Amino acid sequence: MNRHGPLAAFLQARRGLLHPEDVGLRTYGERRRVPGLRREELAMLAGISAPYYARLEQGQSRNASREVLDALATALRLDESERVHLHELARAPKPGRAASRPRPEHVNPATSALLAALEGTPALVLGRRGDVLAWNTQGHALFAGHLDRDSPADPGRRPNMAKLVFLDAHTRDLYTDWPAKARAVVGNLRLTAGRHPHDPLLAGLVGELTMRSEEFATLWAGHRILACDVADYEMHHPGVGTLTVTQQTLQSPQGGGPAVVIATAAPESPSATALKLLAHCTAPRQALSPRTDADADADAGTHTAHTA
């Protein structure tokens, strides 16, 4: 981790991704000790002094104005999510006393009712660190059918989607373009880290993934930001075959509570048929075998025999 803080680390990492030719600067063939733009070049593009920008990267100045941050975002060619993230990093308080342990996350009654209403459509509820707080039958079957259906009910056994994507072979095989899914997971965790810079549980998760996955460590060091509101993924499901789903994340406007992730497919498509098959395979046995008049007569006869 950069000893000068997350804002300095973000600026340095994103500066390193830009090259002079990307922004129309001439280099005249001189050798460069490090890749990317030099500090003075980025400062010039942003219209600020080089010494002031150097202080920002060295963690010596944390009072950058909105105008300066917007100028840096434009010079660094940040998208809207990355621009917001830059402002959040600049507003983050300096580390002081040890942060208190976050309160346990849970699913409120309204979200539970929404999850029940979505029965038949794969859906799950994620905490801000990617912990699975709840899922419906189809959500469990689509995303993690190899895990215990009841594991989200126990805080000590809750699956974590980031860990599954990077450390679980079943989940890795589930996504045709696994690198795209991995980038999305890391980009979303970066957004969360910007909003909650002193969350010890999030820091522990990042530390564990960094130690156990070289791929995660490389992506995390890139400081890429990615808001995962809507994304299409091709999946190879062991039960229903290949399908393409749209994963939509429904988040409260404040962004502080759990998020609901829903998987849908284009109407009348083979993928929609696959999701219907998944729902059929995971439905309760009573729903799979509708009762007939003959069944009712048989039950009535059995009841008469037992009461005779």
Is 102 inside a domain boundary? no
Query: How confident is the model at residue 304, as a pLDDT?
Result: 43
Q: Give me the mean pLDDT over the 153-169 stretch.
A: 95
pLDDT level of residue 29 (50, 70, 90 thresholds): low
pLDDT level of residue 21 (50, 70, 90 thresholds): confident
Per the structure, how many domains does the chain have? 2
Share of the chain above pLDDT 90, in %: 46
The reply to whether 121 and 267 lie within a common domain is yes
**Pick from 269, 256, 238: which is nearest to 174 by CA?**
238
**CA 116 – CA 110 distance, rounded (Å):** 10
Residues 6+ apart with CB under 8 A from 10: 85, 86, 89, 223
pLDDT level of residue 63 (50, 70, 90 thresholds): confident
The reply to whether 86 and 117 lie within a common domain is no
The reply to whether 207 and 142 lie within a common domain is yes
- Residue 306 pLDDT > 60: no
**CA 41 – CA 44 distance, rounded (Å):** 5
- Residue 305 pLDDT > 50: no
For the chain, the DSSP string reads --TT-HHHHHHHHHHHH--GGGGT---TT---SSSS--HHHHHHHHTS-HHHHHHHHTT------HHHHHHHHHHTT--HHHHHHHHHHHHSPPP-SPPPPPPPP---HHHHHHHHHTTTS-EEEE-TTSBEEEE-HHHHHHHHTTS-TTGGGSTTT--BHHHHHHH-HHHHHHBTTHHHHHHHHHHHHHHHHHH-TT-HHHHHHHHHHHHH-HHHHHHHHTT-----SEEEEEEEETTTEEEEEEEEEE--TTS-S-EEEEEE--TTSHHHHHHHHHHHHHS-HHHHS---HHHHHHHHHHHHHHH-
- Residue 104 pLDDT > 90: no
Containing structural domain, residue 202: 109-286
Task: Output 233 or 96, whichever has higher pLDDT.
Answer: 233
The reply to whether 163 and 261 lie within a common domain is yes
- Residue 26 pLDDT > 80: no
Share of the chain above pLDDT 70, in %: 82
Query: How confident is the model at residue 286, as a pLDDT?
Result: 42
Is 104 inside a domain boundary? no
Is 293 inside a domain boundary? no
pLDDT level of residue 227 (50, 70, 90 thresholds): confident
Task: Output 151 or 19, whichever has higher pLDDT.
Answer: 151
Is 272 inside a domain boundary? yes
At 14, which CATH number?
A: 1.10.260.40
pLDDT tens figures, 8-19: 888 988 888 888
Query: How confident is the model at residue 135, as a pLDDT?
Result: 95
User: Which range has the top average pLDDT, 99-103, 162-166, 224-228, 249-253?
Assistant: 162-166
